[in-house]
Structure 1
Amino acid sequence: MWPVLLAYYTGVATAAGAMIAWSGNKKVGKRKIILFHQEKPLPSCRALLQKRGGQVLKELPLVHALVARLPAKGKVIEELGLHPDIRLIEDDFEVHTVELPAARIRQEKQIVPWGVERIGAPRAWQVAAGEKVKVAVLDTGLDAGHPDLAANVRGTQNIKFPGWRAGDGNGHGTHVAGIIAALNNSFGVVGVAPRAEIYGVKIFNRQGDGYISDIVAGLDWALKNKMQVVNMSFGTSQPSQALEEAVRKCVQAGMVLVAAAGNEGRDDSVLYPARYPGVIAVSAVDKKDNLASFSSRGTEVTVTAPGVDILSTYPGGKYRTMSGTSMACPHAAGVAALILAQDRRLSGRQVARIICRTAIKLPDLSPREQGDGLVNATALAAVARFIGEMGTAGEESVG
């Protein structure tokens, strides 16, 4: 499996109005996400958990929840599940990226990677190149000093280890960022939107390990800091109510959320959060427009994009090729940045609608494999026309 998150989550049961998800593991102190009713202030919620012997680890204001370790002995979890202030208790399950070794490339004179060329980005730069569009990369961190990224990096945030710099000891996040916005200069590579503003949000450690709560906290940061596009090159086969609520609130706020469909290599296998309504779910194709063998497919796929042997930036000023829907996803995020550079008043749903309506249908792929088609940057000049057509009409749903 290429870069993708694997999750361990065993089920959900209902207990008198509050849902409780558990793993069957009786180990003391297992992490839980406890979602409270909005009218209950989080400080009071914290006191409630502490009174029951819980250790509160962090707050998740976006979904009005706390992350805590709850005693496994006795009936603490069952009793909390019956508490009128609590609406849901679920595992804060651990997730991690799984990658194949990346191929090292010595890159000097600048080239346009095949994926950037295939979606027509160079022709779009005559109209827009992502200027003043804020793109958050939720990932393993970012090499903010990479010479092919530094001028476009506007900030970083370390969710995983607060107070520490958001460096990238893994490489996945830096690679994704380069696909979106590597600089158009005389060396290395160039990204889809080479003038977009990149913000690296570290939600996974150098091994690619993190929790659902880290993803939720990353989305919270993106919303509070007015990110316009959020790239999520990860996924899990198991749902999370907390993550779904976080995604919904970001979509409602007008953000463009783009996520990898997954690397499951079979039908009906699109992962979360790509599976959630409002998210642009991206499958992967190769240089011949064939669906990548590893790519997930299903009715939730929105569009497809290049995702095989993609050359991009890597920590330490290096360049490597990687494959996965993790690489396809930032191609679509880059196109979203190009669209918003023309009109930053567009909502996330409007941007998604434009991406879908301008996508190129690939004749040998089904809708379950490509969604509306190959993401298409060359349609940028037609954005104004689509904006006029949309007018005040209702927005189409995506995802």
Structure 2
Amino acid sequence: MKNLKKMALSLCAMGVLFTSCEKDEINETVEVDAVQLEEAPFKNYMVISKSTELTKSVENYLKTSGGKIVSTIPEIGIAIVNSKDANFIQNTLKNKEIVSVVPDYEIKWIPSQAENELTSMDVSIEALTPSPGTTEGAYIRLWGMDAIDAPEAWNAGYTGKGASVFVLDSGIDRDNVEFSQNLNKDLSASFVPGEPYYTSPGRFPNHGTHVAGTIAANKNNFGVIGVAYEAELVAVKVLSEFTGSGAFSSINAGIVYAGNNKADVVNMSLGATFNKNGKLTDADGNEFKIPAKFIQEIVLAQQRAIDYAYKNGVTLIASAGNDGMNYDGNGSTIKLPGSLNNVITISATAPEGWHPFSNPNTNFDIPASYTTYGKSLIDLAAPGGDGDVSVLDMIFSVASGEDAFNYNAGTSMASPHAAGVAALIIGKYGKMSPHEVEKLLIRSSDQVDGNGQSLFFGKGRVNAFRAVTE
């Protein structure tokens, strides 16, 4: 897949309502002196051992190192330590079993902003093409399902049953009727301190709930339907539902958790972009820079988590980002987690002026205006929506709250379409290696931009029907 590059940083959060980071914002340089760096908002440190497993000797050392162990991810050799010692990094690195110590920054991975709720277009189900989705009241809005031939896959008998999808995000509305049949509440977990895996009542719209709806909203004669509507859903909260932010260690712990609990697919509709002249944005919206060596260490830690889950049979799918930039030629830039090895990275497609009655057969495969692209980054494409022409071109899915639904657009909406197709594949064939799942996703994709690697579409746009009938 992708090759790692050395970089330093800038943040561009991924996929909520039709939002992208501006290019001049990404490239803006800001001088930060040592005092500002010391005041950067971190409390904890990620201590990364040389061994990919956390040894007892390292744990014992950390207990006497002037800090308190908050948590550990022993499977990848990481401990999270809280310390007020100004010399904690330097002193800890004296231990030859420890390869790096980096502040466990909490940054924004998705924007936190208002989103549109549009639920007024009432239609008759008699007007719809026959498929299992016709019994869902809002199926007519789901152009993305038609774009990837999901109804044809359902009619062939493939619904994702037997596959599990872990949604690493900002939580899922556990009481929403659209998840009543397949959300595993016992296995769902939170790695955000002080927040349960589920969302608080009235937390409309909620990013994670919208993403989960596209993957596996139930077939229940109501609302919408997911690509793999009988797949098991597991909510893994790694981002705060209030801010869209999360610590690097939370993301890593969530990935390892999926690996430990036999996840078939992980969906990560989240991300950050790192480059030499960039910056971090913390949970309070403050911007600051960090040293280049910290970036390399952050990448090392997350790649370990990805590799661990991958070796445990997890297919990892991530959104590409909404900064509208060409990743090719940016040798000093890296996306987390999208450009890491063993991650399938998804760009976004959209129609232009689609309408279920007046313009139902428009081209669904236009690159979304905001999508990050580049042959060196994108593996596949999927419907993510756009709002330049019409809100109907966006992705309609579940929102937190009673009977709540809304439109969003972003690569965050594209990734769950692809994750749903991966679940359909595993539902048909049973447990498969991530490598085999990726090969089948690629082989069954529609070559909407010719053969080979496309700038915007990677190896093609996912196709659910072909994926289960190849």
Q: State whether residues 346 and 382 of structure 2, in contact with CA within 8 Å, keep that contact through their aligned partners in structure 1.
A: yes
| Residues 251-279 of structure 1: CA deviation (Å, up to 9, x unaligned) | 12221100001111110177211111221
Unpaired runs of 5+ in structure 2? 1-12, 27-35, 123-136, 275-294, 328-332, 352-362, 386-393
> Aligned letter for 1:361?
Q
Q: Could you tell me which of 354, 370, 374 is aligned with 2:461?
A: 374
Q: Could you tell me which of 255, 260, 263 is aligned with 1:227?
A: 263
Q: Could you tell me which of 179, 192, 195 is aligned with 1:160?
A: 192
Query: How many Å separate the matches in 2 of 1:334 and 1:378?
Result: 12
RCO comparison, higher one (Cα < 8 Å, 6+):
2
Query: Are the structure 2 counterparts of residues 63 and 27 from structure 1 closer, same or farther at C-alpha, using a change threshold of 3 Å?
Result: same
Q: State whether residues 265 and 315 of structure 2, in contact with CA within 8 Å, keep that contact through their aligned partners in structure 1.
A: yes
> Aligned letter for 1:293?
S
Q: Residue 367 of structure 2 aligns to a residue in which SS?
A: coil
> Aligned letter for 2:190?
N
Query: Is structure 2 residue 135 aligned with structure 1 residue 111?
Result: no
> Aligned letter for 2:454?
P
Cα displacement (A) at 1:80: 1.8
Query: Is structure 2 residue 184 aligned with structure 1 residue 148?
Result: no
Q: Could you tell me which of 186, 206, 219 is aligned with 1:184?
A: 219
Cα displacement (A) at 1:91: 2.6
Q: State whether residues 2 and 323 of structure 1, in contact with CA within 8 Å, keep that contact through their aligned partners in structure 2.
A: no
Query: Are the structure 2 counterparts of residues 256 and 165 from structure 1 closer, same or farther at C-alpha, using a change threshold of 3 Å?
Result: closer
Query: Are the structure 2 counterparts of residues 228 and 41 from structure 1 closer, same or farther at C-alpha, using a change threshold of 3 Å?
Result: closer
Query: How many Å separate the matches in 1 of 2:437 and 2:41?
Result: 46
Unpaired runs of 5+ in structure 1? 9-22, 384-399
Cα displacement (A) at 1:369: 1.0
Alignment TM-score, normalising by the size of structure 2: 0.73
> Aligned letter for 1:195?
E
| Residues 94-141 of structure 1: CA deviation (Å, up to 9, x unaligned) | 122215532212277241511111100110012310001111000100
Query: Are the structure 2 counterparts of residues 216 and 381 from structure 1 closer, same or farther at C-alpha, using a change threshold of 3 Å?
Result: closer
Q: State whether residues 53 and 76 of structure 2, in contact with CA within 8 Å, keep that contact through their aligned partners in structure 1.
A: no
Q: Could you tell me which of 335, 339, 349 is aligned with 2:425?
A: 339
Q: Could you tell me which of 369, 386, 391 is aligned with 1:293?
A: 369
Cα displacement (A) at 1:49: 2.3
Corresponding residue number in structure 2 for 1:90: 102
Alignment TM-score, normalising by the size of structure 1: 0.85
Q: State whether residues 29 and 72 of structure 1, in contact with CA within 8 Å, keep that contact through their aligned partners in structure 2.
A: no
Q: State whether residues 172 and 197 of structure 2, in contact with CA within 8 Å, keep that contact through their aligned partners in structure 1.
A: no
Query: Are the structure 2 counterparts of residues 163 and 29 from structure 1 closer, same or farther at C-alpha, using a change threshold of 3 Å?
Result: closer
> Aligned letter for 1:232?
M
Query: Is structure 2 residue 380 aligned with structure 1 residue 311?
Result: no
> Aligned letter for 2:248?
I
> Aligned letter for 1:233?
S
Decide which structure has greater strand share.
1
Corresponding residue number in structure 1 for 2:247: 211
> Aligned letter for 1:86?
I
Q: State whether residues 28 and 72 of structure 1, in contact with CA within 8 Å, keep that contact through their aligned partners in structure 2.
A: no
Query: How many Å separate the matches in 2 of 1:370 and 1:104?
Result: 29
Query: Are the structure 2 counterparts of residues 69 and 27 from structure 1 closer, same or farther at C-alpha, using a change threshold of 3 Å?
Result: farther
Corresponding residue number in structure 2 for 1:391: none
Two-structure CA RMSD over aligned residues (Å): 2.6
